[in-house]
């Protein structure tokens, strides 16, 4: 695939990123894609390795290796190299509903499993993917696919995040009538309010939603299923129901002073900023303010990084990001060989911006909050931090992080954002639909069938598998659509 010696002839090139101190002045995407000819060379780096781990999508050592969608990566890269953009799009669309989303926000599991990692840099598959779909939109290759025949079957999709949208697209194209219910004021779920504009401009999302509407998908916003409409009502109107509400329970922290004011969950902070941007370009001031504040972000993952970047754009005076786990190494450990997901240190855009603005990495490792201190009005003013160390649990035999007595340190903190992950589905939804949940409160639905304990009610995405990636949610939505189609028709050709 690609050019036989391409991985030797061409160096990896990425889209050029705007300088950190310039891009923090706005909330727009800040990467300029390569010119088409240069992007084609990147496709030529795909080395015809014989065993394309990039498209495997299996689990190794408990971590995903390769694309969960099983995108036909070498074939697509070869078509990019030859400049056959239309065929590249057609090849990509065989396995992928929304490459314009993952081409921006996916951590590129495909690249982590690329054989080129053995002796150099992986093929720029993520940016090739983005180039293919954007070229397809620009040239008009992407058009509404309205089903010629309708089956008469009706499916309700609860939740409009990546899993719900993927399932809606697939089921509608099959000929079923699909209605998507969203409790928020806009369609998109996690894509809309959980991912900042800097990573995913919302006009990219709106472009796809308009396509889905043109294909026949019906969207209803401001409808909280289980509250505004009951399971019984939905069962009367629809032949099948898909629950795709995400893992919506944010994990809290247990520390003295947690009841202080100005301590928020990350999802609420990010949602308030994006909604204000969309409603008024921040002019309505209807967002959680960070200007002039010492911001403490608790959590070292993607959401924590998004909080760092967003707080900086809002004018934070300082930002500290806590990570409970030890700092990862710069290179793979011997116990973490290719093609496993590389457990190495990554510095994301928000952290890059904090380094440029404040002169140091905002991350503090093996640390958590012991106590929040309030002012006389109940507002959080300081946080007492404590170091953690790894110890073996005598009962379970597992390693756990425990506080190191005497290691306390007090820092200024007048805005605290908890980005410690999510615990599972929301109880009021699972109770309303009477579905069984597992020990982690994820909806119990076997992979393959995706059907819950309630006949005719299915589940997919983070609501079923727990907090995960956009690419996994799209995979779940596609697979659940197949299962629903088979349950309705007795077979599936999806």
Residue 465's domain is classified under what CATH number? 3.50.50.60
134 and 168: one domain? Answer: no
- Report yes or no on 381 lying in a domain: yes
Long-range contact pairs involving 85-93 (C-beta distance under 8 Å, separation at least 24): 85/132, 85/135, 85/136, 85/139, 85/141, 86/136, 86/139, 86/141, 88/132, 89/132, 89/133, 89/135, 89/136, 89/141, 89/142, 90/141, 92/129, 92/132, 92/133
Please check whether residues 209 and 323 belong to one and the same domain.
no
Per-residue model confidence as pLDDT tens for the chain (494 residues): 668 888 989 999 999 999 999 999 999 999 999 999 999 999 999 987 889 999 999 999 999 999 999 999 999 999 999 999 999 999 999 999 999 999 999 999 999 999 999 989 999 999 999 999 999 999 999 999 999 999 999 999 999 999 999 999 999 999 999 999 999 999 999 999 999 999 999 999 999 999 999 999 999 999 999 999 999 999 999 999 999 999 989 999 999 999 999 999 999 999 999 999 999 999 999 999 999 999 999 999 999 999 999 999 999 999 999 999 999 999 999 999 999 999 999 999 999 999 999 999 999 999 999 999 999 999 999 999 999 999 988 888 888 999 999 999 999 999 999 999 998 899 999 999 999 999 999 999 988 899 999 999 999 999 999 999 999 999 999 999 999 999 999 999 99
Is residue 457, in this structure, part of any structural domain at all?
yes
CA distance 481 to 451: 11
**What is d(CA 15, CA 30) in angstroms, rounded to the nearest whole number?**
10
According to DSSP, the residues that pair with 264 across neighbouring strands are 417
Contact status, residue 74 vs residue 1, Cβ threshold 8 Å? yes
- Domain end, chosen from 392, 418, 444, is at 418
**Is the pTM here over 0.85, yes or no?**
yes
Residue 429 lies in a domain: yes
Q: Domain for residue 256, yes or no?
A: no
CATH number at residue 78: 1.10.1060.10
Same domain? For 290 and 364 the reply is yes
Which of 418, 438, 462 corresponds to the end of one domain? 418
**Both 244 and 323 in a single domain?**
no
The answer on 434 and 414 residing in a single domain is no
Rounded Cα gap, residues 301 and 222, in angstroms: 30
Q: Do 133 and 14 share a domain, yes or no? A: yes
Kindly state the DSSP code that residue 341 receives in the 8-state scheme: P
Beta carbons of 484 and 448 less than 8 angstroms apart: no
Residues 214 and 237 in one domain: yes
CB-based burial of residue 242 (10 Å sphere; 0-12 exposed, 13-18 middle, 19+ buried)?
A: buried
314 domain-assigned: yes
- Domain shared by 268 and 404, yes or no: yes
Closest CA to 290 of 319, 260, 258: 319
Domain of 42? 6-139
CA distance 159 to 458: 12
Q: Do residues 190 and 119 share a domain?
A: no
Tell me, yes or no, whether 223 and 358 share the same domain.
no
The total domain count for the chain is: 3
Q: Are residues 414 and 430 in the same domain?
A: no
CA distance 5 to 455: 54
Residues 270, 194 contacting (CB under 8 angstroms): yes
Q: Let me know if residue 54 belongs to a domain.
A: yes
C-alpha 272: how far from chain center: 18
In a domain, 64, yes or no: yes
Of 418, 450, 471, which one is at a domain's C-terminal end? 418
Based on the fold, state whether residues 400 and 461 are members of the same structural domain. no
């Amino acid at each position: 695939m690609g050019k036989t010696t391409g991985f030797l002839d061409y160096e990896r090139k990425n889209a050029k990123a705007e300088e950190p101190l310039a891009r923090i002045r706005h909330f727009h995407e800040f990467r300029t894609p390569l010119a088409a000819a240069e992007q084609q060379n990147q496709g030529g780096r795909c080395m015809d390795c014989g065993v394309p781990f990039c498209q495997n999508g299996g689990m190794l050592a408990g971590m995903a290796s390769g694309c969960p969608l099983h995108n036909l990566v070498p074939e697509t890269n070869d078509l990019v190299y030859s400049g056959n953009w239309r065929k590249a799009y057609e090849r990509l669309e065989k396995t992928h509903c929304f490459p314009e989303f993952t081409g921006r926000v996916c951590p590129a599991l495909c690249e982590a499993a690329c054989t080129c990692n053995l002796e150099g840099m992986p093929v720029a598959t993520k940016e090739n993917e983005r180039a293919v779909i954007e070229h397809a939109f620009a040239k008009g290759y992407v058009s509404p696919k309205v089903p010629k025949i309708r089956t008469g079957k009706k499916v309700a999709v609860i939740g409009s995040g990546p899993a719900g949208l993927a399932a809606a697209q697939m089921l509608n194209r099959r000929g079923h009538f699909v209605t998507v219910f969203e409790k928020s004021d806009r369609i998109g779920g996690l894509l809309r309010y959980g991912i900042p504009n800097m990573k995913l401009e919302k006009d990219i999302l709106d472009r796809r939603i308009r396509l889905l509407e043109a294909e026949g998908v019906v969207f209803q916003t401001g409808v909280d299923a289980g509250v505004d409409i009951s399971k019984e009502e939905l069962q009367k109107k629809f032949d099948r129901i898909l629950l795709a509400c995400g893992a919506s329970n944010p994990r809290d922290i247990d520390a003295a002073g947690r009841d202080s004011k100005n301590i928020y969950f990350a999802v609420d902070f990010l949602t308030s900023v994006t909604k204000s941007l969309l409603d008024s370009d921040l002019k309505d001031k209807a967002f959680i303010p960070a200007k002039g504040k010492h911001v403490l972000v608790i959590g070292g993952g993607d959401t924590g990084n998004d909080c760092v970047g967003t707080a900086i754009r809002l004018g934070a005076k300082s930002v500290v990001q806590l990570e409970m786990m030890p700092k990862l190494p710069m290179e793979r450990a011997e116990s973490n060989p290719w093609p496993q997901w590389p457990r190495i240190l990554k510095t994301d855009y928000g952290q890059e911006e904090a380094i440029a603005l404040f002169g140091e990495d905002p991350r503090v490792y093996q640390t958590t909050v012991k106590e929040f201190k309030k002012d006389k009005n109940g507002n959080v003013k300081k946080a007492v931090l404590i170091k953690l160390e790894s110890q073996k649990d005598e009962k379970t035999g597992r390693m756990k992080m425990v506080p190191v007595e005497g290691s306390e340190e007090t820092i200024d903190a007048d805005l605290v954002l908890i980005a410690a992950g999510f615990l599972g589905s929301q109880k009021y939804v699972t109770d309303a639909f009477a579905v069984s949940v597992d020990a982690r409160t994820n909806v119990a639905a076997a992979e393959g069938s995706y059907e819950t304990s309630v006949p005719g009610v299915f589940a997919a995405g983070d609501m079923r598998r727990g907090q995960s990636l956009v690419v996994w949610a799209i995979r779940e939505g596609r697979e659940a659509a197949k299962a629903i189609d088979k349950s309705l028709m007795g077979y599936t050709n999806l």
